[in-house]
Every structure is written in C-alpha cells, then in structure tokens.
C-alpha cells in the first residue's frame, strides 16, 4: 500500500468511526490518526469532514446540511417511529441473545431498536446524489439482512457495530452505484452531442442528410453509437438519413 493509499484508508476509517459516533469525530481521534498534520492539512481534513456532514467535537447542526425537503422526509420517518420502545444496552443484550436462540419476537424487537439509528445514519449520507427516503429504504433492507448475520458476532456487545456497518455499507454502495450511473449518462450525453454536431457539419458540407456509414467514417464513431444517438435524440433525423 502506498503512502497515499494508506492516507485515504485512514481518512475513510475515521469517517466510518465518526458516523458510528453519531456524526462527530474528536480532535484527539484526528491527532491520534494523523499526528504530524500541518495546520493547512488539518484545515483541509476538517473541511472534508464538514462536506461529509461530520462535525469536529460535536455533530453539525442539521440545518447546515439538510435541505427543507430532506428535513421533511427525516421528520416523517422519525414521527412514525416515535411509539417504538426504548431499548437500553442491557435489554439489547437480552434481545440479541434471544434472537441468536431463535426467538422471533426478540429478533423483531431488536430490529425495531435500530430503525431510528438507520434514519440518523441516512442523514449523514445526504447530499451525495441519493434522496434521504431512498437511503432510509436501503438502510432498512440492510438492517433486515444484518439480522441474518447475528451468528457472525463473537459477543452481544458487537451487535451495534456489525449492524450499523452493514447499514453504512449498503448506503455507500447505493450512492456509488447512483453516481456511476450518472457518470455513464453524462458520457452518453456527451457522445450523442458530438455525433449530432458532426452529423450537422457533414450534412451541411454534403448539402443533404449524411448516411450512418458516412458519419461513422468521417467522425470516427462506432455504428452502434450512431444508431443509439438516433434512438435517443429526435435531432439526429434532421441530419442523418435514417
């Protein structure tokens, strides 16, 4: 692992730790992980955390990163969960043990005890291309999956981290997939615009609509890309003989 890869890995781990701590990381934790940061590097790191909805020393005010629509969605979900029982650490331990022993009621109560935490985690992933409601939905699916992984923990106290990391991973994968799709769509749009531009230019030179073959040869485009551009764009028919 290169120094840069190690640096990125440490930042990612700090970010995960901050999310597990309710959206905050302490100065001491930063200094322990990066003892030799210059003031400029420290400022950049703090800015990175802020952009990821993470506060230093205390959580950020939600107004700093949630827009009005997201706040409304978050409130709606939390209002629906208001009647759920409060589960302290002792009761959670009992529920984990019960779930591990096949007690379905204990498993359901344990699942419900994490629903508010799923919403809290979703808040911290907003602003990255996926709506709060979709993040919560994905988190709830991951929560259900986590209940099938209880047998992987060594002791009941490990349940919280296993469950929340499962939820976090699911939300991150959803964000990555969405952003990858957006990136692909941008590339497709760029290619379509290039094809339309070249088709217009060529048709003006020829004083007629160009053929797909002519456009492929003159523009260096693949035939299948031209046909796809024709399919998705109504403008291509003005310049290409289809």
Distance of CA 48 to the CA centre of its chain: 16
Beta strand segments in 46-162, E? 55-56
Q: What is the CATH code of the structural domain delimited by 184-238? A: 1.10.10
Q: How far apart are CA 179 and CA 173, in angstroms?
A: 10
- For residue 111, what pLDDT is reported? 97
**Closest by Cα among 171, 228, 236, 172 to 199:** 236
CATH match of 66-181 with 1.20.120.1810: yes
- Asked if residues 127 and 118 have their Cβ atoms less than 8 Å apart, the reply is no
Over residues 101-112, the pLDDT tens digits come to 999 999 999 999
Q: How far apart are CA 217 and CA 23, in angstroms?
A: 55
Over residues 55-112, the pLDDT tens digits come to 999 999 998 899 999 999 999 999 999 999 999 999 999 999 999 999 999 999 999 9
CA 81-82-87 angle, to 5 degrees, is 85
Whole-model pTM?
0.73
Q: Which residues contact 169 (CB under 8 A, 6 or more apart)?
A: 142
What band does 229 get if pLDDT is binned at 50, 70 and 90? confident
Q: How far apart are CA 107 and CA 99, in angstroms?
A: 5
What band does 118 get if pLDDT is binned at 50, 70 and 90? very high
- For residue 38, what pLDDT is reported? 84
CA 123-127-132 angle, to 5 degrees, is 45
What band does 1 get if pLDDT is binned at 50, 70 and 90? low
Which three-class secondary structure state does DSSP give residue 49? helix
- For residue 233, what pLDDT is reported? 75
What band does 188 get if pLDDT is binned at 50, 70 and 90? confident
- Taking residues 39-48, what's their average pLDDT? 85
Indicate the DSSP class of residue 85: P
45 against 166, higher pLDDT: 166
- Asked if residues 146 and 138 have their Cβ atoms less than 8 Å apart, the reply is no
The ranges assigned to domains in the chain are 3-56, 66-181, 184-238
């Amino acid at each position: 692992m290169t120094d840069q890869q190690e640096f990125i890995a440490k930042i990612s781990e700090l970010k995960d730790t901050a999310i597990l701590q309710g959206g905050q990381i302490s100065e001491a934790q930063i200094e322990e992980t990066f003892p030799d940061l210059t003031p400029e590097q420290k400022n950049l790191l703090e800015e990175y955390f802020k952009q990821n909805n993470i506060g230093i020393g205390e959580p950020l005010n939600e107004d700093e990163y949630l827009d009005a629509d997201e706040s409304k969605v978050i409130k709606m979900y939390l209002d629906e969960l208001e009647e759920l029982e409060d589960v302290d650490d002792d009761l959670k331990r009992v529920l984990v043990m019960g779930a591990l022993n096949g007690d379905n009621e204990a498993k359901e109560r344990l699942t419900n005890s994490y629903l508010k935490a799923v919403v809290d985690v979703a808040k911290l992933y907003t602003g990255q291309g996926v709506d709060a409601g979709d993040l919560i939905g994905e988190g709830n699916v991951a929560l259900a999956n986590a209940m099938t992984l209880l047998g992987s923990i060594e002791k009941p106290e490990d349940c919280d981290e296993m469950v929340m990391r499962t939820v976090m991973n699911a939300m991150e994968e959803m964000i990555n997939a969405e952003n990858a799709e957006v990136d692909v769509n941008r590339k497709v749009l760029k290619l379509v615009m290039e094809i339309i531009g070249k088709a217009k230019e060529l048709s003006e030179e020829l004083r007629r609509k160009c053929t797909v073959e002519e456009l492929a040869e003159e523009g260096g485009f693949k035939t299948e890309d031209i046909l796809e551009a024709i399919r998705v764009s109504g403008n291509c028919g003005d310049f290409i003989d289809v």
